[in-house]
C-alpha cells in the first residue's frame, strides 16, 4: 500500500526519517514530500501567490523523497494535486518533535498538513512526540528516542489504510515523553489557560511601537481534565484524538469516535508493553 509522508521540521529531521524507516519496514511504499526547512506553527498556511521550488532528495527510487520550499500543507497539496501521489491509502504527518495537544493543535503545521489531506479526501494522521516530561513547560533538552512513536505510527497507519475512517477526519496522536504503559487512550482536545503577555515601549529612538514578549506562551498550562489529551500524556499514555472537519454534524463526530474506539481496541494489544520506556531519552 502507498503512503504519503510529510512533516513540519523538514525532510532531514530525525522524526520523519525514523518514521519513514518504520513504515518501509512495515511493508508500505512511502512517498516523502516534506518542507526544505523547518516550518512549525503554520497551521494550514499555503503558498498561493508565488511558485514553489521542489527538489529530489536522495536516490531511493522505490521510496522517493522530495523537498518543497514551502509549508507542510504545501507539501500535501503538491503531492496530491500534481499527481505525484497516486493510489494513496493514507497520509501521515510527523513525527513532530514536540507535542501538539489541545488548543495548540490548531497552530501546528504537523496537524495542518493532516487536515489538508483530510480535506482532499484522504485518511490522515498527525503524529507528535512530547519533547519533555512536563505537559506545559520544558524541563531540558534531550535527544528523543522515536522507537515507540514509530511503532504506534506504523500500527495506526496500517489501520487507517485497511479500514479508513469517516471522510474529512484526522487522528491527532501524541506520544508522551515518559511512557508508563502501552495504552492508547481515546481522548478529546484539552483547553490551554493563557498567561497575560508582557509588553513595553520599544527603545528604538522612535516613539512608534511596543515590544510584545511571547515568553508567557511557555508558562501557560493545559487543563488536564479526565479524558483529555493533556491528561493522557501527563499520565504516560498515548493520546489518540479523533477530529472531524465536518464540524456541523454531530452524527459525523459520533461515527468517528466509534471508529477510533474500535481501532484502539484492535491496535493496543498488538503494540505490546512499553516497559516504562522514556521517549524523550531521559527518565530522570
Mean pLDDT of 233-258: 92
Crossing angle of the two packed helices 72-81 and 109-119, in degrees rounded to 10: 30
**More confident of the two residues 168 and 282:** 168
Is there a domain that residue 103 lies in?
yes
Q: Report the mean per-residue pLDDT for the chain.
A: 86
Query: Per the structure, how many domains does the chain have?
Result: 1
Q: Residue 276: its pLDDT value, please?
A: 45
**More confident of the two residues 206 and 66:** 66
Q: Residue 169: its pLDDT value, please?
A: 96
Is there a domain that residue 209 lies in?
no
Q: Residue 133: its pLDDT value, please?
A: 55
Is there a domain that residue 279 lies in?
no
Question: What band does 30 get if pLDDT is binned at 50, 70 and 90?
Answer: very high
Distance CA 238, CA 218 (A): 22
Q: Residue 142: its pLDDT value, please?
A: 56
Cα angle 284, 277, 257 (rounded to 5 degrees) comes to: 120
Asked if 88 and 80 count as a contact pair (C-beta separation under 8 A), the reply is yes
**166-194 b/e (C-beta count within 10 Å ≥ 16 → b):** bebbbbbbbbbbbbebbbbbbbbbbebee
Question: What band does 206 get if pLDDT is binned at 50, 70 and 90?
Answer: low
136, 174, 179: which is closest to 281 by C-alpha? 179
Is there a domain that residue 195 lies in?
no
- Least confident interval from 6-20, 47-61, 268-282: 268-282
Distance CA 223, CA 229 (A): 10
Asked if 177 and 238 count as a contact pair (C-beta separation under 8 A), the reply is no
pLDDT tens-digit readout, 71-128: 999 999 999 999 999 999 999 998 999 999 988 898 899 999 999 999 999 999 999 9
In the predicted model, is pLDDT for residue 252 greater than 50? yes
Distance CA 106, CA 42 (A): 9
The residue segments making up the domain with residue 39 are 2-190+219-271
Question: What band does 140 get if pLDDT is binned at 50, 70 and 90?
Answer: very low
Q: Residue 137: its pLDDT value, please?
A: 46
Is there a domain that residue 278 lies in?
no
In the predicted model, is pLDDT for residue 179 greater than 90? no
Mean pLDDT of 148-174: 96
Mean pLDDT of 45-49: 79
Radius of gyration of the chain (CA): 19
Q: Residue 275: its pLDDT value, please?
A: 46
Q: Residue 214: its pLDDT value, please?
A: 67
In the predicted model, is pLDDT for residue 138 greater than 80? no
Give start and end residues of each alpha helix (H) in 120-226.
147-162, 215-219
- Least confident interval from 90-94, 164-168, 189-193: 189-193
Element (H, E) at 127: strand 124-129
16, 1, 282, 4: which is closest to 146 by C-alpha? 16
Question: What band does 63 get if pLDDT is binned at 50, 70 and 90?
Answer: very high
Is there a domain that residue 40 lies in?
yes
Asked if 268 and 184 count as a contact pair (C-beta separation under 8 A), the reply is yes
Distance CA 118, CA 91 (A): 8
Q: How far is CA 47 from CA 54, 68, 110, 191, 256, in A?
A: 13, 11, 16, 30, 31
Q: Residue 56: its pLDDT value, please?
A: 95
- Cβ neighbors of 84 (< 8 A, separation 6 or more) are 31, 33, 66, 78
CATH code of residue 8: 3.40.1210.10
Is there a domain that residue 207 lies in?
no
DSSP tag of 165: P
Distance CA 232, CA 200 (A): 38
Q: Residue 207: its pLDDT value, please?
A: 65
Q: Residue 219: its pLDDT value, please?
A: 57
**More confident of the two residues 246 and 33:** 33
Is there a domain that residue 121 lies in?
yes
Amino acid at each position: 500500500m502507498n503512503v504519503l509522508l510529510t512533516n513540519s521540521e523538514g525532510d532531514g529531521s530525525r522524526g520523519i526519517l525514523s518514521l519513514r524507516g518504520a513504515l518501509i519496514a512495515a511493508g508500505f511504499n512511502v512517498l516523502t514530500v516534506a518542507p526544505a526547512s523547518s516550518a512549525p506553527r503554520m497551521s494550514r498556511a499555503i503558498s498561493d501567490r508565488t511558485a514553489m521550488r521542489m527538489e529530489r532528495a536522495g536516490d531511493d527510487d522505490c521510496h522517493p523523497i522530495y523537498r518543497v520550499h514551502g509549508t507542510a500543507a504545501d507539501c500535501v497539496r503538491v503531492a496530491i494535486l500534481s499527481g505525484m501521489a497516486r493510489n494513496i491509502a493514507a497520509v501521515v504527518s510527523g513525527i513532530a518533535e514536540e507535542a501538539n495537544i489541545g488548543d495548540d493543535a490548531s497552530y501546528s503545521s504537523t496537524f495542518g498538513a493532516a487536515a489538508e489531506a483530510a480535506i482532499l479526501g484522504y485518511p490522515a494522521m498527525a503524529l507528535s512526540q512530547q519533547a519533555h516530561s512536563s505537559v506545559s513547560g520544558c524541563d531540558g533538552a534531550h535527544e528523543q528516542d522515536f522507537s515507540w512513536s514509530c511503532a504506534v505510527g506504523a500500527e495506526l497507519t496500517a489501520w487507517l489504510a485497511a479500514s479508513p475512517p469517516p471522510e474529512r477526519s484526522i487522528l491527532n496522536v501524541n506520544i508522551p515523553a515518559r511512557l508508563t504503559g502501552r495504552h492508547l487512550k481515546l481522548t478529546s482536545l484539552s483547553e490551554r489557560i493563557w498567561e497575560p503577555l508582557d509588553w513595553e515601549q520599544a527603545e528604538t529612538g522612535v516613539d512608534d511601537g511596543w515590544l510584545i514578549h511571547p515568553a508567557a506562551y511557555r508558562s501557560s498550562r493545559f487543563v488536564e481534565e479526565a479524558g483529555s489529551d493533556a491528561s493522557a500524556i501527563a499520565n504516560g499514555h498515548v493520546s489518540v484524538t479523533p477530529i472531524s472537519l465536518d464540524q456541523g454534524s454531530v452524527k459525523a463526530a459520533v461515527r468517528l469516535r466509534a471508529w477510533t474506539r474500535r481501532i484502539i481496541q484492535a491496535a493496543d494489544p498488538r503494540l505490546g508493553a512499553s516497559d516504562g520506556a522514556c521517549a524523550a531519552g531521559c527518565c530522570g
